[in-house]
Amino acid sequence: MVKNIEYIAYRKLKGINIEFSPNVNIIAGTNGTCKTSILHTVSNSFQTVKSTDGRLLEKKSVSILKQLNKLSNPKIETLTRGDKEFNDPAQETKGTLYTTTYNDESKLSFRKHNSSTSEKKRFAVKPQYKAGENESLPAMPTIYLGLFRLFSYGEFESDDLISNITAKLPTEYQEELAKLYKDFTTYAIDFEQIKNMGKIKNRPEFKTDISGIDSNTISAGEDNLFIILTALVSLKYYYKSINSTNETESILMIDEIDASLHPEFQIKLLQLFMKYSENYKIQILMTTHSLSLIEFALEHKQFCKTIYLLDQKNSVNQLEDVDKYTINMLLKNTTRQEIQLHNKIPVMTEDDEARFFLNLLFEHYKNINEGRSIEQYFHLVNANFPSEAIVNLVNDDYLLKSTMRTINILDGDQSNKANLNKQLITLPGDKSPEEIIFNHAMKLSTMPDSSFWSNDLLINDGYTFVFFERNIKDKIDNIDNTITQLKQENKSTKGVKRDLNKKLFNEYIIFWKFILKNWIEDLDNEFEINKFYKNLRILFLKTADFHGINSNSWVIINGQ
């Protein structure tokens, strides 16, 4: 296997070291990031296993493998060409272009070897053997499936170049290949022949159990799928025909794995690759632009490594911390802000006062977290919901797990109903926002010398200690007096206090903002403020992925 390749200069691969997994490697990046060039250099790092190799238990496996797969152990000069002006892959670079490290920690460096004829100009990349070291390329089967595999049989006009391939897999592997193909397509196939389409590709001839469907009428994706499965089963056959002593015994490379394949096939193939790679020691490398494939690979990091390359115009860099949100952003050539502009978690609250409280909490958390905002992740639904309605919604398991991936916040006086498993929390404090504000205002009224009353911004808006004493304090007292009087008269008090609170709140809303900010910053309430922050983050982590938000974007600072 290839453990890593350190590139000095090869096309845009300059001063970059790429490490590979012994299992499955996903190479992604925008066009022009040398993804295919990496496959070329890997293939160039090995030679064909000879039939005289002492590891072979079944010598014919090597020739069968080579005949069934169009490109086995191809070298760079057969995979790429210079243009009319002789496109040097490493201009102004002499000596080593890259160094390959193998799984046994041995290394080989490679250099340019240019050649020219009267008909064409081309370059090759050859190993630099050290004098007296008796070095050689390691022998390992490598199958390269380039985009030529997508060429349609119906569009191939050179009938003279089509010939039959006599080599066949042993019966048990033919049956395995047929079973795999049926698992993907539902077609039960009966092999007839493998066709050699000149220098383009090898493709199967088969019939199916469905009238009108055969190897000539299947879709390009189904044809592509069969070629990939054939390569995979061929390498299993090779593994079974040798005395295995290495961590890796073969390499499969596929350029643009997602080309012509439905996302369902892509994911199913990746699952198959993980199984075959682990069981039959196949190192698999593929290039892709498929977000669904990358996302699946990132969820199975123990078997798949994702290598993402960043285009820097004249060179490429490797993305260090790979996650699906960053890759989604980069592949779409946009910014995280633009993507997350429309990706927000809906937050259900009881009323305007609750949202007023929340916005001030967001502002507070931003101030103590070095300017990092969490407000950007949430959409406060501009609708009022009675606490009973919110509780009923979160108790509907179907809604909670499907369409209602919301964060639900009740007022503090409903704390006995909080349930993190139901995505339901309560605001800080043990009362409604209005009562918290009014009570804190009354507390501050007993402290006329408090720095709160000397706030220039408060004074500039006309809210002085004297103004509060003369215009607001009595109105707060009158709310409780009205409720007491209604009770004495045996009249209903349902909703009265709430309505009076809201009326007073809206009358002096600018003043209440100063009051509530002071309550939030009061050290006596620090525990409640921090508890709400932690609970909100727990619900964020539970719902972020559903709404396309990177859960790692909530950065913890100062233990928060």
- Which pLDDT score, from 0 to 100, does residue 195 have? 65
pLDDT digits (tens, 9 = 90+) for 421-441: 999 999 999 999 999 999 999
- Which pLDDT score, from 0 to 100, does residue 187 have? 87
Instruction: Compute the average pLDDT of residues 90-94.
Output: 71
Higher-scoring residue by pLDDT: 1, 507: 507
Higher-scoring residue by pLDDT: 396, 105: 105
- Which pLDDT score, from 0 to 100, does residue 404 have? 63
pLDDT digits (tens, 9 = 90+) for 6-18: 999 998 999 999 9
- The dihedral sign for the CA sequence 205, 207, 212, 213: negative
Cβ 200 vs Cβ 148: under 8 Å: yes
Cβ 422 vs Cβ 389: under 8 Å: no
Tokens coding 36: 């295919």
CA distance 346 to 18: 41
The residue type of 45 is S
- Which pLDDT score, from 0 to 100, does residue 197 have? 59
Higher-scoring residue by pLDDT: 126, 343: 126
Higher-scoring residue by pLDDT: 362, 153: 362
**H or E stretch covering 233:** helix 220-240
pLDDT digits (tens, 9 = 90+) for 327-342: 776 666 554 444 444 5
For residue 504, pLDDT beyond 70? yes
Beta bridge partners, 164, equal: 195
Task: Count the Cβ atoms, other than its own, within 10 Å of residue 529.
Answer: 19
Percentage of residues in the chain with pLDDT exceeding 70?
86
Exposed e or buried b per residue across 135-163, where buried means at least 16 C-beta atoms within 10 angstroms of its C-beta: eebbebbbbbbbeebbbebeebeeeeeee
> At 311, is the pLDDT very low, low, confident or very high (cuts 50, 70, 90)?
confident
- Which pLDDT score, from 0 to 100, does residue 201 have? 67
Question: Which domains does the chain possess?
Answer: 2-151+243-333 (3.40.50), 345-553 (no CATH)
pLDDT digits (tens, 9 = 90+) for 46-73: 999 998 898 889 988 988 888 888 778 8
How far does Cα 162 stand from its chain's mean position? 43
For residue 348, pLDDT beyond 90? yes
Percentage of residues in the chain with pLDDT exceeding 90?
48
47 DSSP 8-state letter = B
For residue 162, pLDDT beyond 70? no
For residue 283, pLDDT beyond 90? yes
Beta strands in 209-350, from DSSP E residues, in sequence order: 250-254, 282-288, 304-311, 316-318, 345-348
CA distance 507 to 413: 23
pLDDT digits (tens, 9 = 90+) for 212-257: 777 777 788 888 898 899 999 999 999 999 999 999 999 999 999 9
For residue 523, pLDDT beyond 60? yes
